[in-house]
Amino acid sequence: MGDVELAAELGLRSGHAEVNGTRLHYVTGGEGEPLVLLPGWPQTWWSYHRILPKLARRRVIAVDLRGMGGSDKPVMGYDKKTMAGDVHELIRHLGHEKADVAGHDIGAMVAFSLAANHPESVNKIALLDVPHPSDSFHELRVLGPNALWWFAFNQLTTLPAQLLAGRARLLVDHMIERLALDPAAIPDRDRAIYAAAYDTEEAITAGNRWYQAFERDIEDLRSYDKVTTPVLGLLAPWAAPAVEAAITRAATDVRIRVIPDSGHFLAEERPEQVLAEFEEFFG
């Protein structure tokens, strides 16, 4: 089932826009003030499907980032500053001056960069479980049961695509089983949708490039003033202390909420709690 059919299943519509030198896919519905949703790796806009219909009481726009799903997968532009420029132009392309923005994982990094580089386009931002890359990334564990092995794996330039092309379901299942507190919250159908989006060499390589740009992202963060846009950090308990510290170092107006009994995939594992926090924060 393609994006058009999946969007229609939720009462939404699928579209594309040429922005910032690339072509982005998005799903949208509702009317009024816009809320932009940015997903993470290894997922797509579908990661918000459990909350999208209720969020569509206002205008909601779920975006496949550069390199993801139905969006283009160019060779360049995977630093979060450039990706934030994609979203900035998409907001304007869709007829809005400003938007609320929520991002998960890689999408959270882009959401923060959007507030840092285009504050005139953003009302408030929510960061789900991940901060913008910073010098603290150099201290992440590579050994032990909680090692973030995929940060190093995605730095490789050819091996990931050689290993995973046609086998992306293995990666999707591994990441969900490892990072979800309730893996059953992401059932077979959803996993198959994500695997189909990452099953080619081109798609795997594009996902690698988000990680390969981290050094550039860290350097960019050093040049930013503290973000003054209101920030909501929605965090899983396992990540809360480190992620809260990273967010509060980089922003001045921060509200932190820990979602109990959840792993990394907050919007799928605990959709009602995420929805309630969004409604309270964004209004």
Hey, which residues are catalytic here?
A: 105, 211, 264
Q: Cα(115)–Cα(36) distance, rounded to whole angstroms?
A: 13
Query: 83 and 113 in contact (C-beta within 8 Å)?
Result: yes
Tokens of 276: 């309630």
Q: What is the CA radius of gyration of the chain?
A: 17
Largest CA distance in the chain: 48
Nearest to 55 by CA among 90, 116, 11: 11
Torsion over CA of 265, 270, 271 and 274, rounded to 10 degrees?
-90
Q: What b/e string do you get for 250-279 counting C-beta neighbours within 10 Å, with b at 16 or more?
A: bbeebeebebeebbbbbbbbbbebbeebbe
Q: Is 248 helix (H, G, I), strand (E, B) or coil?
A: helix
Neighbours of 97 (CB within 10 A): 9
HSE-CB at 196 with a 13 A cutoff on CA atoms is: 11
Q: Which long-range contacts (CB under 8 A, 24 or more apart) does 248-251 make?
A: 249/134, 250/112, 250/131, 250/132, 250/134, 250/221, 250/224, 250/226, 251/112, 251/115, 251/226, 251/227
Which residues are bridge partners to 24 per DSSP?
17
